[in-house]
């Protein structure tokens, strides 16, 4: 597993691969805008088990978020980000989120990693009228992410969000 994690992190740091993943995310944003689902910013979607779902991500997606969190910390230390600082994910936050059925990046019902969140977050809406199209869009765009893994020989693994974050934190030497 350690070699897979290192490959995910290296791939997430590769500007070309990150740009390809971001293109998938941009397509998800376009789909969302076109469909116009309701989002009440209630944070219910981030309370996974309470709403009857879990968030699954690929290794590359989780690494993309972790790498950007790590980069944000380094840039914040040098003042390069100004006031735009992403949160730090500490072990305690990850454990607490897992124990309380939520996302470690939820704060006061708001997503603190909105710009770097994985595909599943980008396409999940509590709005019942969104359920048909969001499943189709998720499957279609997930296939593109899977193809990205294949094209760049990135090991593929699909796992629960918090578990994948824990794997990556151990390898990348982050604060959790």
pLDDT at 134 over 60: yes
pLDDT at 80 over 70: no
User: Within a 10 A sphere around the Cβ of 37, how many other Cβ atoms?
Assistant: 18
**Which comes out higher in pLDDT, residue 76 or 162?**
162
Count of domains observed in the chain: 1
pLDDT at 144: 97
Reported pTM = 0.81
pLDDT digits (tens, 9 = 90+) for 7-43: 999 999 999 999 999 999 999 999 888 887 777 656 6
Q: What is the mean pLDDT of residues 134-150?
A: 94
Measured between alpha carbons, how far is 156 from 144 in angstroms, rounded to an integer? Answer: 13
Look over the chain and give the mean of its residue pLDDT values, rounded to a whole number.
80
- DSSP lists the bridge partners of residue 111 as 106
pLDDT digits (tens, 9 = 90+) for 41-55: 566 677 766 777 788
Q: What is the mean pLDDT of residues 71-87?
A: 49
Measured between alpha carbons, how far is 139 from 144 in angstroms, rounded to an integer? Answer: 9
pLDDT at 90: 59
**Which comes out higher in pLDDT, residue 77 or 155?**
155
Q: Which residue range(s) make up the domain with 7?
A: 2-172
């Amino acid at each position: 597993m350690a070699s897979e994690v290192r490959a995910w992190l290296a791939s997430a740091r590769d500007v070309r691969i990150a740009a390809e993943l971001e293109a998938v995310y941009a397509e998800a944003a376009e789909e969302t805008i076109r469909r116009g689902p309701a989002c009440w910013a209630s944070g219910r979607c981030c309370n996974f088990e309470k709403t009857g779902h879990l968030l699954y991500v690929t290794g590359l997606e989780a690494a993309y978020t972790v790498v950007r969190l790590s980069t944000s910390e380094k840039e914040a230390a040098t003042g390069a980000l100004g006031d735009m600082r992403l949160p730090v994910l500490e072990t305690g936050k990850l454990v607490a989120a897992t124990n309380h059925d939520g996302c470690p990046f939820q704060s006061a019902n708001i997503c603190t990693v909105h710009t770097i969140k994985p595909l599943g977050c980008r396409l999940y809406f509590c709005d019942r009228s969104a359920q048909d199209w969001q499943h189709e869009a998720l499957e279609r765009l997930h296939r593109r992410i899977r193809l990205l893994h294949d094209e760049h020989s990135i090991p593929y693994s699909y796992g629960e969000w918090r578990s994948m974050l824990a794997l990556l934190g151990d390898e990348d030497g982050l604060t959790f």
